[in-house]
Amino acid sequence: MPELLTKLSFEGKVDQLLANPDRGSGLEKGAVSKAYFRFSGMEGDCHGGLTRASDSRMLKQYKRGTEVRNSRQVSILSREELAEVAARMAIPAVKPEWVGANMLVSGIPDLTLLPPGSRLQFPSGAMLVVDAENHPCRYPAEIIARHHPDPAVGFVKAAMHKRGVVGWVEAEGLISSGDRITVWIPPQRIFAHK
């Protein structure tokens, strides 16, 4: 049983925040020291918005391009999991700015396996809700290949169940690099695994 499913809450830390205001420029992001998270997402980032167009992940439910609630406002990755991905690829590092991360965290075991409905609470009162695991795709692989052209294993295979989570803003507030994070696991997920 993953360690995260044995406790109702535990703490981690924000190591880095990243944003890219340009919707047309791709996944790559740059570091920022702090950002305000509004109901529409992270201020100054292209993935914000209350709604978004449905994509290939939703083809069975919606025609591509249908306007839906944006439950993918924020992409959160783990420093420890990115190190594992780099080791699997046999490259020195997979940087969060290459894979579209908004937040790099540490100290949260098995971050990618956080169950939907988990909440990440920050000192300002900001609260993010985990929607789902963020499955690896070819777009970060293309960026990584520019920096490391001959990995031992491709990014999609190496990052399976290590690509982090996506979520949305439940309560607004300022989040800064270095902030503590309290992770709240939905109680029904704990009891279901005992």
Strand partners, 30: 19
Average pLDDT over residues 133-161: 91
Neighbouring residues of 131: CB distance < 8 A, sequence distance ≥ 6? 71, 72, 116, 165, 166, 167, 168
Average pLDDT over residues 177-187: 95
pLDDT at 6 over 70: no
Tokens of 174: 């300022």
- Portion of the chain with pLDDT greater than 70, in percent: 91
Q: What is the pLDDT of residue 51?
A: 92
pLDDT at 44 over 60: yes
The DSSP bridge pattern shows strands 74-78 and 103-106 to be: parallel
What are 17-40's pLDDT values in tens digits? Answer: 999 987 666 678 999 999 999 999
**Radius of gyration of the CA atoms of the chain, in A:** 16
Residue 155's domain spans which residues?
3-192
Q: What is the pLDDT of residue 50?
A: 93
**In CATH, what number is assigned to the domain containing residue 104?**
2.40.33.20
Q: Are 167 and 129 in contact (CB under 8 A)?
A: yes
Average pLDDT over residues 104-118: 96
**How many structural domains comprise the chain?**
1
Q: What is the pLDDT of residue 25?
A: 62
What are 57-109's pLDDT values in tens digits? Answer: 777 888 888 898 999 999 999 999 999 999 999 999 999 999 999 999 999 98
The mean pLDDT value of the chain amounts to 90
Q: Is the dihedral of CA 176, 163, 155, 141 positive or negative?
A: negative
pLDDT at 55 over 90: no
Q: What is the pLDDT of residue 58?
A: 77
